[in-house]
Structure 1
Amino acid sequence: MHSSVFNEISLVIALGAAIALFMRALRQPLIIGHILTGILAGPTVFGLIHADASFSGLSDMGVALLLFIIGLDLSLKSFSRVGKAVFTTALVQISTITALGYASGRLLDYGKTESLVVGLGLAMSSTIIIVKLLNDKKETTRLYAQIAIGVLLLQDVVATVAKIGLAAKSHKGDTLTTLVQLGVRGISLIVLLYVLVKYVVPRLTKALERSKELLLLFSLGWGLGFALLFTKAGFSIEIGALFAGVSLAGLPYSSEMASRLKPLRDFFLVIFFITLGQTMAPGKLSQVVLPAIALSLIVIIIKPLTVLVSMGGLGYTKRASFKAAVAMSQVSEFSLVFLAAAVASGYVRDEVSATLTLTALITFAVSAYLIKYDNVLYTKLEKHLRLFERKMTMVEHRGGSTNYPIVLFGYRKGGHEFIKTFRNMEKKFVVVDYDPENIDNLERQQVNYLYGDATDPELLDELNLSKSKLVVSTIADRETNHFLAHWLNTHNPSAVFVCSSDRAEHATELYAEGAAYVMMPHYIGSEKISTFIRRNGLNKSEFKAYREKHLIDLQTHIDKHLVDPENEE
């Protein structure tokens, strides 16, 4: 048995490597190659895969590691800022597509239960494909990506409830009681995570930082362990792994965890997509091609439109709305799991199953291209996308023709101190933020603002940031500040760039990239630096002494931490 599994995995990986090289030569998405490998290795072509349970287990590990690593880079605060957009978008998108899918099923002469299964299947989007492609583009911390991931989490919750309802109907159980039990188990696991992170994990910090091998094993045990616990509680692997990652996101060694797990993640994810492909060989294709194409159009065209309308109505820019919408343009792998359960229970015929399976295959392929080339598509469709922008965001376009000597990115964390300073200096300034509540607050204060993402190059061009004298970022996100530092170093090296960081080593990196000053907790915050700006103006040379003193203090802090890690705050 051991030899058989080894032989199968070796053959499939060899086949996958050859197809991946071919896809790379054609400059095509590798995900398409992995799914194609699965189809070829499946029972309808070469029949290489027989140890289904082994491949399924390996693919589940890939799913868990992917979501765990994503969770390590996220925080509950980031989700809370886009909570309104997530709930509204998910509600509109799921209800609209489910209803449309149900109506389409009835038109195709499917039964009521079959049509409902089809509707729910079309409404769900693939967490794995979306997160994998966003991660490949290094955009998981972008505004649109956080909204998309939030919507995916709510979709997973809805899918879990639907699966419970299907199981209860099959066994004539009490759905309400099952849902209450699910909620209690979920809350219990979240409380357990909180208690462990609050009281147990800090005691392990010294040991984990001294041994890289122990850190790797702890990361695997934590991520896979909680993914398993959430699965046993009735939730999906994705939800469990993501919560496990988010719970550790604030730890000083979370980045080290992620970097050590990524090679393992990449291998297991290849197995996941191959396994997914080998299950997607629908029979009777000639009978289901046209219905599958019709359902695919709903997923590829109408589903993104619901996201565009929802986010545009909430005041998000057309770029953020478009990129989030494009990300949702496929059927979920969970839809196929739900479909298989419905077939096994006798609620769905093989013909309906084949149609939805082919729909999934079509949308997986098309969405991979849409997500990869979303910036190109946006450029071509930009004029037409203005229909989906609320008037509030038109300030963004008016701002493009004005030069602002001072630009402030982020209002929530210390931004009000800088606004007070800039007004006292009687300097023209603008605030950039993507939180609708902050925008409403700025509008009430009659502050010039632009609504958008700090990492959007098009927005920076509209700002004429290349002519600004002072750029301040109160956003503590590492990737955002690195992006701004690099952009300014390339396009406007004479500008004063003041930014924020929570960690000494990250602050040192920002200084190396040209930051004039990096604000840190417990050292100097927005209040003191704003006073310095008011007193010394916008001259970059005035920051030199401040900068040099801070670099010395940071190096002392880092050296002390290397000697005694427990001193890290």
Structure 2
Amino acid sequence: MAVEAGANSDLVQVVALLAAGVIAVPIFKKLGLGSVLGYLAAGVVIGPFVFGLFTDAQSIIHVAELGVVMFLFIIGLEMQPSRLWSLRRQIFGLGVAQVLVCGILLTFVGVAAGFPVAASFIAGMGFTLSSTAIVMQLLEERGETATPDGQRAVSILLLEDLAIVPLLALVALLDTTGEVTTASDRWQAVGIAIGSLGLLVAAGLWLLNPLFRLLAAVQAREVMTAAALLVVLGAALAMQLGGLSMAMGAFLAGVLLSESTFRHQLEADIEPFRGILLGLFFLGVGMSLDFRVIAAQWPLILGAVISYMLVKGIGIYLVARLTHSDNRSAFHRVGLFAQGGEFAFVLFSAATAAQIFSVETNAVMTATVILSMALTPLLLIAIERITPAREQSLEGVDVADGLDGKVLIIGFGRFGQIVSQPLLLRGVDVTIIDNDVEMIQAASNFGFKVYYGDGTRTDMLHAAGAGNAEAVLICVNDGDIALRIARNMREEFPLIPVLARAYDRGTAIQLIGEGVEYQLRETFESALLFGRATLDELDIPEEEADEIIEEVRRRDTARLEAQIAGGLQAGRGFMKGNMPVPTPLTQPRHKGRAMNAETADKLRPTEQAASS
């Protein structure tokens, strides 16, 4: 019975972990606070100081740190060696500069507070090492990992991962317990670290790809998944045995496999484990927040959180500005990196064992780091709302003014580029405007002359020559923007024909309501061609396949007209998605031949209108 009770207790804890994440994360994301803060808050609730479902948060953190390891492996898969080499200046330039400047400034904070120099330095450097898990999660949620700012952030994190090694060595040198580390011991540790790194690189270059080719030939999916986990955990273990960062080992393994033909398979196999374990890590951090220490030392901890985050933010901002980042990018980096990170826990524990920290100092600094991690998502949201939007530089770009082309194209993305080609091939005088400076500059490299202009502004439409054009083509990919442009055209230039790209069926109906001469859902015709090709592959006779496609097109038009009529009769109720479906239509005739009854029966409308 005792065994059964223990098993039930373990099951309760597993269910509590899963339930906490499942409930908290959607709520916090709905509130715009992000998943990280949701996990942290859930960890506090189920931790030892609220519901008390868990008493040993550190054991969960140790296991869940593998989520950070897997995260770095996936990032490594995206970093080909050539790409990583191109970041060398940011890693060893920008990264070193930020670590040194912030470390020095934070050391002075500790000294000013009355702590010994050694303790101040370790505390400052521990807080300098930002949370890889939080920064990478925030970058991923915002889709910024591949942006220039995101790449700089990744470079800084890589350098900080490397910095933990010399910092731990320095703690050993400052050890006051009386245990003397000889020079030979230190050189032996360095040799082990270099040997571990060399073995990992050698395995990545000459062993991993042949191994995955062999496993792929066996065609056992579960074995491939096991092998992917083996690579990640084995690389992490090799680095840990060498005294290096587990996350760095996983990242290096990912880089070595980044040009492998199995890269995408590895990423798909690791992703589910990475997401769950990373969530557990944040839950564990939330559980580790010791409210007894906070209650007893709240003035000191509050002062430490404010002073450390403020001073570190100043250091980050200075380095960013000195390395030619604009004001918004600099503040954005402050929001990402102003917290302490998980490496601080390792460093502070080592400092406590070496008697550089007292047990009380360790508890205070750990609480300070955890609180700073919890505040990071809120700080980033506040910075993004306060700082003004980045102004685009128009250097080398011509602004639309006094143009008079025969056809005006608004938007030069994938759709607009294809639309322009038959017109240009026919020799039609085309004017193209877009508000994406990078796209305009890229288009110029291929011989396209694109002017800068925002089609939602009536003054820009005048400047682009919309009033003198014979047709205006709205090719933007945002349905709301397309509607605003169509509305401006109707009000300013009601006699100019407008043809518009519609994002979906709802946008198409609204564009028709705005009086455009022609609208086309961006996926409709390509989907019909795709379906037509599928009928060919199924050996459907050509004439019958043509009839089927024409019938689908005709029925879609009939549904669209019925939806518009129904919406107008119901006070534009179709805007809410309540779209009526017409009754089955009579069989059409195509190419002088009636569609056979069997085909017509297969095409009878469904009870719901298509939403595409």
Please give the range of the TM-score, normalised by the shorter of the 2 chains: 0.5 to 0.7
2:18 matched to which residue of 1? 13
1:195 matched to which residue of 2? 202
Contact residue 23 and residue 33 of structure 1 kept, 8 A: yes
1:149 matched to which residue of 2? 154
2:347 matched to which residue of 1? 338
Of 457, 461, 467 in structure 1, the residue corresponding to residue 437 of structure 2 is 461
User: Aligned partner of 2:156: which letter?
Assistant: V
Structure 2: distance between partners of 1:357 and 1:157: 21
Structure 2: distance between partners of 1:353 and 1:241: 29
Residues 159 and 256 of structure 1: is their aligned pair in 2 closer, same or farther, counting only changes over 3 Å?
same
Contact residue 293 and residue 364 of structure 2 kept, 8 A: no
Deviations 1:262-305 (A, max 9, x none): 11211111111111111121434355434434433444444344
Work out whether 1:219 is the aligned partner of 2:195: no
Runs of 4+ in 1 over 6 A off after TM superposition: none
User: Aligned partner of 2:396: which letter?
Assistant: G
Of 314, 322, 339 in structure 2, the residue corresponding to residue 313 of structure 1 is 322
1:113 matched to which residue of 2? 118
Contact residue 135 and residue 337 of structure 2 kept, 8 A: yes
Structure 1: distance between partners of 2:46 and 2:308: 27
Work out whether 1:97 is the aligned partner of 2:102: yes
Contact residue 59 and residue 269 of structure 1 kept, 8 A: yes
Give the SS at the match of 1:399.
coil
Give the SS at the match of 1:470.
coil
Structure 1 residue 322 displacement after superposition: 4.5
Structure 1: distance between partners of 2:442 and 2:94: 35
Deviations 1:447-499 (A, max 9, x none): xxxxxxxxxx98x3376459758279xxxxxxxxxxxxxxx9849xxxxxxxx
Work out whether 1:398 is the aligned partner of 2:395: yes
Of 282, 288, 294 in structure 2, the residue corresponding to residue 285 of structure 1 is 294
Give the SS at the match of 2:340.
coil
Of 344, 366, 371 in structure 2, the residue corresponding to residue 362 of structure 1 is 371
2:538 matched to which residue of 1? none
1:551 matched to which residue of 2? none
1:49 matched to which residue of 2? 54
Give the SS at the match of 1:225.
helix
Structure 2: distance between partners of 1:322 and 1:399: 27
Contact residue 400 and residue 463 of structure 1 kept, 8 A: no
Work out whether 1:231 is the aligned partner of 2:240: yes
Structure 2: distance between partners of 1:184 and 1:93: 28
Residues 400 and 299 of structure 1: is their aligned pair in 2 closer, same or farther, counting only changes over 3 Å?
farther
Larger CA Rg, structure 1 vs 2: 2
1:326 matched to which residue of 2? 335
The unaligned stretches of length 5 or more in structure 2 are: 1-5, 401-433, 449-474, 479-612
Work out whether 1:123 is the aligned partner of 2:128: yes
2:430 matched to which residue of 1? none
Of 17, 34, 38 in structure 2, the residue corresponding to residue 33 of structure 1 is 38
Give the SS at the match of 1:348.
coil
Give the SS at the match of 2:50.
coil
2:584 matched to which residue of 1? none
Contact residue 62 and residue 266 of structure 1 kept, 8 A: yes
1:484 matched to which residue of 2? none
Structure 1: distance between partners of 2:83 and 2:21: 37
Contact residue 106 and residue 312 of structure 2 kept, 8 A: no
2:274 matched to which residue of 1? 265
Structure 1: distance between partners of 2:15 and 2:151: 37
User: Aligned partner of 2:137: which letter?
Assistant: K
Residues 246 and 469 of structure 1: is their aligned pair in 2 closer, same or farther, counting only changes over 3 Å?
closer
Contact residue 85 and residue 314 of structure 1 kept, 8 A: no
Contact residue 101 and residue 295 of structure 1 kept, 8 A: no
1:241 matched to which residue of 2? 250
Contact residue 96 and residue 159 of structure 2 kept, 8 A: no
- What TM-score does the superposition give when structure 2 sets the normalisation length? 0.60
Give the SS at the match of 1:398.
coil
Structure 2: distance between partners of 1:354 and 1:465: 54
Contact residue 92 and residue 306 of structure 1 kept, 8 A: no
Contact residue 402 and residue 463 of structure 1 kept, 8 A: no
Structure 1 residue 152 displacement after superposition: 1.7
Structure 1 residue 211 displacement after superposition: 3.8
How large is the RMSD of aligned CA atoms in angstroms? 3.3
Structure 1: distance between partners of 2:447 and 2:270: 36
Deviations 1:352-383 (A, max 9, x none): 33432332233213322344676545535x58
Contact residue 399 and residue 463 of structure 1 kept, 8 A: no
Deviations 1:103-129 (A, max 9, x none): 222222223332222211221111111
Contact residue 237 and residue 246 of structure 2 kept, 8 A: yes
Residues 317 and 181 of structure 1: is their aligned pair in 2 closer, same or farther, counting only changes over 3 Å?
farther
1:204 matched to which residue of 2? 211
- What TM-score does the superposition give when structure 1 sets the normalisation length? 0.64
1:558 matched to which residue of 2? none
User: What is the aligned length?
Assistant: 410
Contact residue 397 and residue 441 of structure 2 kept, 8 A: no
Residues 187 and 259 of structure 1: is their aligned pair in 2 closer, same or farther, counting only changes over 3 Å?
same
The unaligned stretches of length 5 or more in structure 1 are: 384-393, 404-456, 473-487, 492-569
Contact residue 182 and residue 233 of structure 1 kept, 8 A: yes
Structure 2: distance between partners of 1:175 and 1:95: 27
User: Aligned partner of 1:398: which letter?
Assistant: E
Structure 2: distance between partners of 1:322 and 1:93: 14
Residues 149 and 182 of structure 1: is their aligned pair in 2 closer, same or farther, counting only changes over 3 Å?
farther
Residues 372 and 63 of structure 1: is their aligned pair in 2 closer, same or farther, counting only changes over 3 Å?
same
Structure 1 residue 249 displacement after superposition: 0.9
1:174 matched to which residue of 2? 181
Contact residue 294 and residue 301 of structure 2 kept, 8 A: no
User: Aligned partner of 1:135: which letter?
Assistant: E
Contact residue 88 and residue 310 of structure 1 kept, 8 A: no
2:403 matched to which residue of 1? none
Residues 79 and 320 of structure 1: is their aligned pair in 2 closer, same or farther, counting only changes over 3 Å?
farther
Aligned pairs for 1:466-545 within 5 A: 468=444, 470=446, 490=477
Residues 96 and 298 of structure 1: is their aligned pair in 2 closer, same or farther, counting only changes over 3 Å?
farther
Contact residue 282 and residue 354 of structure 1 kept, 8 A: no
Structure 1: distance between partners of 2:445 and 2:116: 65
Structure 1: distance between partners of 2:213 and 2:138: 35
Structure 2: distance between partners of 1:28 and 1:53: 25
Residues 215 and 139 of structure 1: is their aligned pair in 2 closer, same or farther, counting only changes over 3 Å?
farther
Structure 2: distance between partners of 1:351 and 1:52: 19
Higher share in helix = 1
2:260 matched to which residue of 1? 251
Contact residue 70 and residue 245 of structure 1 kept, 8 A: yes
Residues 102 and 314 of structure 1: is their aligned pair in 2 closer, same or farther, counting only changes over 3 Å?
closer
Give the SS at the match of 1:235.
coil
Structure 2: distance between partners of 1:489 and 1:189: 53
